């Protein structure tokens, strides 16, 4: 690490405090997850990486369009309003760093920072349907090690999504001790948050809010989850943990 890099990081820690509160916003590198540096999620909504029709028949075009342009866009707008009102310098504070200290912010910040982050990750974690879709390489080996088999992991993850009461997310999480675990969070919470029951780096997330599936699957959340496995972008998921496994 260069002297200049070390100096910049020290300067960041000195300056990255929330105005009006004794809450230090740790930069993403301080959490020990190197992918947060290489693949950060910013505060703005990025273009959808495929057409609204790309995930059919698993996820229909109308659901994709409404989900992206209405629900996700609203989280981004409300996040922008929240960081302005709560005087967060987005040039100094990463979104991951903000989430790691979310208990020091308002409910509006928590709901919308989480909602924006979760959806930006969600879009990239999917691609056009592929038969017999499964991970390979180091990621597959890590799943085998920590869950005994890919099928066992799928069952545990599916159950986390099916059994999440009300709205929320199911997650594959890399913990501080580099173990892959499954968890779920309510509403728009995620494992980066200091309020999460299971904390760590979100490797893969599944949206189980009704707006993600209701037009096609109605109240059949298990059918939506079972179909969703066909659109998981395992190449992207593997990239998120590159160098960590």
Mean pLDDT of 175-181: 93
In the predicted structure, residue 213 carries a pLDDT above the cut 80: yes
Name the nearest CA neighbour of 140 among 126, 125, 152, 127.
152
pLDDT digits (tens, 9 = 90+) for 38-73: 467 999 999 999 999 999 999 999 999 999 999 999
Q: What predicted TM-score, i.e. pTM, was given to this entire model?
A: 0.85
Name the nearest CA neighbour of 204 among 118, 78, 109.
118
| Class of the CATH domain delimited by 3-41+60-124 | mainly alpha
Read off the tokens for 209: 């809010």
* Range(s) of the chain covered by CATH 3.55.40.20: 137-240
**What is the sign of the dihedral through the CA atoms of 17, 21, 24 and 27?**
negative
pLDDT digits (tens, 9 = 90+) for 121-134: 999 999 999 878 99
Looking at residue 11, its pLDDT comes to: 43
Residue ranges in 67-184 assigned as alpha helix (H): 73-85, 95-99, 107-124, 137-147, 150-163
Please, which residues have CB within 8 angstroms of residue 20's CB and are 6 or more apart in sequence? 87
* Range(s) of the chain covered by CATH 1.10.287.990: 3-41+60-124
Name the nearest CA neighbour of 68 among 118, 103, 105, 26.
118
pLDDT digits (tens, 9 = 90+) for 139-170: 999 999 999 999 999 999 999 999 999 999 99
Architecture of the domain spanning 137-240 = 3-Layer(bab) Sandwich (3.55)
Quick one: pLDDT band at residue 245, thresholds 50, 70, 90? confident
Looking at residue 142, its pLDDT comes to: 97
Looking at residue 85, its pLDDT comes to: 98
Residue 57, CA atoms < 13 Å, CB-side half-sphere? 3
Q: How many Å apart are CA 225 and CA 79, to the nearest integer? A: 28
In the predicted structure, residue 193 carries a pLDDT above the cut 50: yes
In the predicted structure, residue 16 carries a pLDDT above the cut 80: no
Q: How many Å apart are CA 179 and CA 173, to the nearest integer? A: 8
Name the nearest CA neighbour of 70 among 102, 45, 91.
45
Mean pLDDT of 4-11: 43
Looking at residue 244, its pLDDT comes to: 83
């Amino acid at each position: 690490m260069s002297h200049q890099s070390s100096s910049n990081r020290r300067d960041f820690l000195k300056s990255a405090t929330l105005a009006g509160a004794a809450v230090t916003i740790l930069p993403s590198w301080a959490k020990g997850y190197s992918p947060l540096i290489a693949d950060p999620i910013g505060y703005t909504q990025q273009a959808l990486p495929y057409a609204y029709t790309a995930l059919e028949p698993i996820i229909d075009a109308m659901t994709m369009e409404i989900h992206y342009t209405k629900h996700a866009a609203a989280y981004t707008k409300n996040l922008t309003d929240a960081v302005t009102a709560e005087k967060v310098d987005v040039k100094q504070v990463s979104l991951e760093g903000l989430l790691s200290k979310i208990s020091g912010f308002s409910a509006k910040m928590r709901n919308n920072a989480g909602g924006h982050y979760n959806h930006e990750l969600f879009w990239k974690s999917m691609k056009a349907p592929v038969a017999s879709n499964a991970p390979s390489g180091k990621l597959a080996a890590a799943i085998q090690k920590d869950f005994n088999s890919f099928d066992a992991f799928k069952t545990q993850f599916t159950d986390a999504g099916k059994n999440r009461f009300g709205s929320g997310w199911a997650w594959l999480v890399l913990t501080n001790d580099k173990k892959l675990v499954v968890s779920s969070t309510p509403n728009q919470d995620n494992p980066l948050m200091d309020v999460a029951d299971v904390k760590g780096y979100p490797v893969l997330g599944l949206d189980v809010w009704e707006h993600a599936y209701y037009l096609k699957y109605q109240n059949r959340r298990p059918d939506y989850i079972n179909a969703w496995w066909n659109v998981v972008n395992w190449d992207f998921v593997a990239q998120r943990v590159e160098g960590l496994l």
